[in-house]
Amino acid sequence: MATVKAEELRAKTADELKSQLVGLKQEQFNLRFQTASGQNENPSRARIVRREIARIKTVLRLKAETDDAAK
C-alpha cells in the first residue's frame, strides 16, 4: 500500500476519511503485535501508517474548521 497524498485525502468525504482512519488504526494495532512477537517483516510500515493517520486527522480537522466557519 503506497502512501496517500494530502490532495487525495482532501478530495474524500469525512465519512470516507473516518473509515480509512479506522482501518489504519487496526493495521497499526496489528503491526504492534507483530513487532512484539518478532514477526514483523516490514518494520518501516509502522512509521508510514503513523504518518498516514496524522495526515487523515489533519485533513479531518481542517474540514471541520471550514464547516464551522461556513456556518
The single-letter code of the amino acid at 12 is K
Nearest to 13 by CA among 71, 69, 70, 67: 67
Tens digit of each residue's pLDDT (9 = 90 or more) over 40-51: 999 999 999 999
- pLDDT over threshold 60, residue 1: no
Q: Provide the whole-model pTM.
A: 0.88
Instruction: Supply the CATH classification number for the domain 6-70.
Output: 1.10.287.310
Tens digit of each residue's pLDDT (9 = 90 or more) over 4-22: 788 899 999 999 999 999 9
SS3 7: helix
Taking the C-alpha atoms of residue 21 and residue 56, their distance in angstroms, rounded to an integer, is 7
DSSP summary character for residue 12: S
